[in-house]
Amino acid sequence: MSDDFERQSLPWMKTVFDWEAVAAAAGAFLAALLLGWIWAPLFWIGFAAMVIALAAGRWARRTPPDLAYGVVAPCDGVVVSVGYGDAPAALRLKGESLVRVRIASSPVSTNKLYAPMAGGVEIVSLQQGEPGQPISPKPDQEGLTRAFVTFESQGEQAGIVLTTGGLGPRIELAVDHGDVVRLGRSFGTRRLGGWCDVYLPADIRTHVWAGQTLTGGETVIAHFRSSVTEDYEDAEAVFSGAAAPARQAQREGVPAAAAAGAASGLAEEADEEADAVLGEFYEDDYPEPDEVSAPEDPAAIFARLREAARKHGEGD
């Protein structure tokens, strides 16, 4: 993929327009010329319609991050607030007082929607708005078009509520219940901006703040707690060599007490080897200062400790 990227003559040019938008813009421009021939000021009415059509059909190619347990922004926009709130019943999310990240998108923002996490689609619901509400100055205003989508994977959930004006086909969803999506992949279209509320588990780690600009499908907004716990356990296993056999025993159905005993024994062996490696620094008879050579780099010492622990784990 890197070779293909290097061969691109204009790698910064990622903006694309839907064919429907191009056709509508061309029609609006022809109408503007006709209106301008009748009366010059009318030209700008058609010209404004052409600009709106292009803005409604603009999107951009995105490169999702290589992320296993994270959440990315589902759309372009600016973070309005990050706090706790109750999710709408239509999302059917587990738990109460979830984390809510509210995002506001301008009318000229790109129109694609991106899966905030990898997993299955649990809920898909679309409520068409009223034509008398062409814009959405407030997310809780009545008569707006709203879409509810819930994603789930390995017990973790992420729900989003999309809001925009009620005039025209403003939201189109390309997924259905039971579909499986990849992180950051497009699952629909929302035209001419609006609001997006992302609801996440209460114990999630967020990485965004009010006023931050987000790039849909690319900006990481949170990490699930399960990923943090596993990273901590893996780091502890690398140092002590004790967690790997215990985790393997759990996968094979070995009782927890037996697994804990095996891990404890391996930890004691690792400690003994650590004492042997570090013993030279704790002699009872200390040499004279002029006889002391430069101590070994601590990083090399810990590297040997990790290697010894790994060998013990492979031996068992």
Verdict on whether the full-model pTM lies above 0.75: no
CB 219 within 8 A of CB 112: no
Residue that is last in its domain, among 176, 201, 223: 223
Mean per-residue pLDDT, 1-9 = 59
Highest averaged pLDDT of the listed ranges 79-83, 164-168, 294-298, 307-311: 79-83
C-alpha torsion sign, points 80, 84, 90, 91: positive
The more confident residue out of 153 and 241 is 153
Give the model's confidence band at 152: pLDDT under 50 very low, under 70 low, under 90 confident, else very high. Answer: very high
15 — pLDDT class (breaks 50, 70, 90): confident
Q: What is the mean pLDDT of the chain?
A: 80
Instruction: At 234, give phi and psi (nearest 5°).
Output: -65, -40
User: Total structural domains in the chain?
Assistant: 3
pLDDT of residue 129: 93
Same domain, 141 and 49: no
194 plus 159 within the same structural domain:
yes
Which candidate, 187, 27, 40, places its Cα nearest to that of 196?
187
pLDDT value of position 9: 65
Q: Which of 111, 134, 114 is nearest to 191 (CA)?
A: 111
Statement to judge: residues 69 and 174 lie in one domain? yes
9: which 2 tokens?
């003559």
Taking only the tens place, the pLDDT of each residue in 174-227 is 999 999 999 999 999 999 999 999 999 999 999 999 999 999 999 999 999 765
208 shares a domain with 72: yes
What one-letter code names the amino acid at 89? A
Higher pLDDT, 7 or 176: 176
Full domain range(s) for residue 164: 62-223
Tally Cβ neighbours within 10 Å of residue 280: 9
Mean pLDDT, residues 11-33: 85
Residues 209 and 282 in one domain: no
Q: Are residues 76 and 216 in the same domain?
A: yes
The predicted-structure confidence for 226-258, as pLDDT tens digits, reads as follows 654 454 444 444 444 444 444 454 444 545 444
Confidence of residue 294 (pLDDT cuts 50, 70, 90): very low
Model pLDDT for residues 123-142, shown as the tens digit of each residue? 999 999 999 898 899 999 99
Residues 213 and 122 in one domain: yes
DSSP characters for 179-214? -EE-TT-EEEEE-S-EEEEEEE-TT-EE---TT-EE
Q: Do residue 162 and residue 261 come from a single domain?
A: no
Mean pLDDT lowest among 44-53, 104-113, 259-268:
259-268
- List, for residues 268-288, the tens digit of each pLDDT value: 554 565 455 445 444 444 444
Final residue in a domain of this structure, among 167, 192, 223: 223
For residues 246 and 296, give the distance between their C-alpha atoms in angstroms, rounded to a whole number. 32
DSSP string of 156-185, one letter each residue:
EEEEEEEEE-SSSS-EEE---TT-EE-TT-
CATH number, domain containing residue 103: 2.70.70.10
Note whether 161 and 79 are same-domain residues: yes
130 close to 143: Cβ distance less than 8 angstroms = yes
Q: What is the CA radius of gyration of the chain?
A: 29
Nearest to 237, CA basis, from 270, 275, 272: 270
Question: Do residues 89 and 118 both lie within one domain?
Answer: yes
pLDDT of 235: 43
Check if the beta carbon of residue 113 is closer than 8 Å to that of residue 148.
no
Asked if residue 242 and residue 129 are part of one domain, the reply reads no
| pLDDT at residue 113, rounded to an integer | 97
Instruction: Identify whether the C-beta of residue 104 lies closer than 8 Å to the C-beta of residue 212.
Output: no
Q: How far are the Cα atoms of 23, 48, 183, 185 from residue 72, in angstroms, in the given order? A: 32, 33, 8, 10
Domain end: 172, 198, 223, which one?
223
Task: Judge if 193 and 217 occupy the same domain.
Answer: yes
